[in-house]
Amino acid sequence: MPIFLVFYIKISIKYRKNHVLEKTAMKQKFDAELLKTQLEVQEQTMQSIATELHDNVGQLLSLTTLTLNSIDLNNTEKAGKKIDNSLGLVNNSIKELRELAKLLHGEQIVQNGIGHAIEQELNWLNKAGVHQLIVSNNLIDLNYTSPDKDLIILRLLQEIINNIIKHAKASVIEVEGYFKENTLYLNVKENGVGFDVEETRGRRTGMGLNSIYKRIEMINGKLALNSSPNHGTTILIEIPYP
Amino acid sequence: MFISLSIITVVELLCFILGLITLLGDKKPLWRNTLIFLLIVCLTEVILGRWAARKFHNNIFIYNIYTLFEAGFISAGIYQCLKKYINPTKIITIGLVIFYVTYIAFFVTHGISPYNTWAASILAVIFVLYCLYYYYLVISADELMEINTSPEFWWMTAVLFFYFGSTTGNLFHELFTSIVIGKFSIRGHLFNVLNVIFYSLWAYSFICRIKQRRLQS
């Protein structure tokens, strides 16, 4: 019996050591992936800001310059109108810059809750005016938070939206988010060109799908992707939450 | 003067010599006590036991007195090992009280001359239980022990081997003493083997301890 006990303790400790090592490795992997996600979210924010500065604020300020340059001080009536127009343009620029400032707090978006982060993301998409959005976001009043998962969920949504913008050629995007029985549901549906899921997943570079699946798996979530050529795409995400 | 030494006495002496080499100067109570205990063991075996046998033709009372020291020193060692995980004062005290009550009861009813089998048997069972509890604490502790090189673990393992074997020997006393192989009964052989295992494991724990001390210094 003592020999058996000594062996048992030895094996038991060895097993626990392996388990601890495995857990540490998994934690490191998770942290690395989280950091990557964080960087991607920041990158996406910077891209949005760059686009916004170039396409919106930049244009508004150029127009302001043109308007101010064209003022003829001898024609006071016209000059007054142009100055009013310029003021309007400057005010619009200020408004746009304030919106941009909100975006700069990329990490704080998630701190306000995943519902707000999704709302912000969809607001930017809506602003572009390319797609008709049908949104049912019931996550705004969610009482639970999970910062790590929120960041990953936000990045998933960004990745899905990027894919729709780049590849789907969709006109309508439906987004539904809700929480039920400790599970967060996020469904995205669009009426674009669709694609062959298996074939795309097989390709290593295919639309970041593998990365989406990997991240979903990392937070013990489930992802159902239904798509076929010319029939749009539906993505159903289920994540244990918080 | 030539002194014939039994296997048990030889391993005890060897273990004591190794203890002197490796543990002398060790300030930890476990190792200091172990060395003192080994000195008592050797004195009992080599000098006192032989002296009593010559003088009184019966040296069992010496071993009965030795059992008192054995209970105290081994309990103190177990206390030191358990202390890493829990406060063992209560359980060690309970064990010692049970042992001494049994010891006195036997002494009162049988006198000092016959071997105090009651106390020795109870002591073996108590030590086995302590060792099992120690193993349980080792397994369930958050900090994972490197058992191959842990001196305390091998010290306790020696105690478990010896007292578990002793308990088995005590349980089958009649059977084991009735069968004789060579010079000794099966019980005699069993105790020879148990002592060799016990002192070998203690010797190994001493080596682990000196390595540990070298690493710590």
Per-residue pLDDT of chain A (242 residues; tens, 9 = 90+): 888 888 898 999 899 899 989 999 998 988 888 888 878 887 887 887 888 788 888 888 988 998 888 888 888 888 888 899 899 989 988 988 887 777 666 556 667 788 888 888 888 888 778 888 898 988 888 888 888 888 888 888 988 988 888 888 888 999 999 999 889 999 999 998 888 877 777 776 655 788 888 888 888 899 998 888 888 899 999 999 88
Q: What is the CATH number of the domain that holds B154?
A: 1.20.1070
Contacts of A12 in chain B (CB under 8 A): 139
Q: Looking at this predicted complex, what is its ipTM?
A: 0.77
Candidates B132, B144, B148; nearest CB to A16: B144
Same domain, A44 and A160: no
The verdict on A134 touching B (C-beta cutoff 8 Å) is no
pLDDT value for B123: 93
Asked whether residue A95 falls in the same domain as residue A142, the answer is no
CATH (domain of A118): 3.30.565.10
- Identify the burial level of B107 via C-beta atoms within 10 angstroms of its C-beta, where 0-12 means exposed, 13-18 middle and 19 or more buried: middle
> Which of A104, A136, A157 represents a domain boundary (last residue)?
A104
pLDDT value of residue B40: 92
- Identify whether B2 is part of a domain: no
> What is the extent of the structural domain holding B47?
7-216
Q: Do residues A131 and A223 share a domain?
A: yes
Residues of A in contact with B156 (CB under 8 A): none
Return the exposure string of B66-99: e unless at least 16 CB atoms fall within 10 Å of the residue's CB, then b: bbeebbbbbbbbbbbbbeeeeebeebbeebbeeb
Report the pLDDT value the prediction gives residue A104, as an integer from 0 to 100: 67
B170 pLDDT exceeds 60?
Answer: yes
Flag if A6 and B157 touch (Cβ within 8 Å): yes
**Same domain? A183 vs A209:** yes
Within-domain flag for B154: yes
Using an 8 Å CB-CB cutoff, list chain B residues near A20.
Answer: 144
Q: Determine the distance in angstroms separating the CA of B51 from the nearest CA of chain A, rounded to an integer.
A: 36
Is B1 contained in some domain?
Answer: no
Question: Which of A59, A76, A104 marks a domain boundary?
Answer: A104
pLDDT in tens, B174-198: 788 888 888 888 888 888 899 999 9
In a domain, B90, yes or no: yes
Measured N-to-C along each axis, helices B60-82 and B49-56 cross at an angle, to the nearest 10 degrees, of: 160
Q: Which of A59, A44, A162, A153 is nearest to A104 (CA)?
A: A44
Contact B135 A5 (CB under 8 A): yes
Residue B104 parent element (H or E): helix B89-110
Q: What is the pLDDT of residue A18?
A: 92
Q: How many structural domains is chain B composed of?
A: 1
Q: Can you tell me the distance from the alpha carbon of A186 to that of A168, in angstroms, rounded to the nearest whole number?
A: 19
Residue range of the domain that includes A221: 113-242
- Say whether both A121 and A55 belong to one domain: no
Residues of B in contact with A5 (CB under 8 A): 132, 135, 160
Domain boundary among A104, A136, A159: A104
Do B144 and A17 make contact, defined as CB atoms within 8 angstroms? Answer: yes
Structurally, chain A folds into a number of domains equal to: 2
Q: Are A37 and A86 in a shared domain? A: yes
Element spanning B174, H or E: helix B173-178
User: Do residues A166 and A242 both lie within one domain?
Assistant: yes
The mean pLDDT of B135-163, rounded to a whole number, is 91
For residues A128 and A26, state if they share a domain: no
Summarised one tens digit per residue, pLDDT across range B40-87 is 999 888 888 778 777 777 778 888 888 999 999 999 999 999 999 999
pLDDT in tens, B103-128: 999 889 988 888 888 888 999 999 99
d(CA B7, CA A75): 124
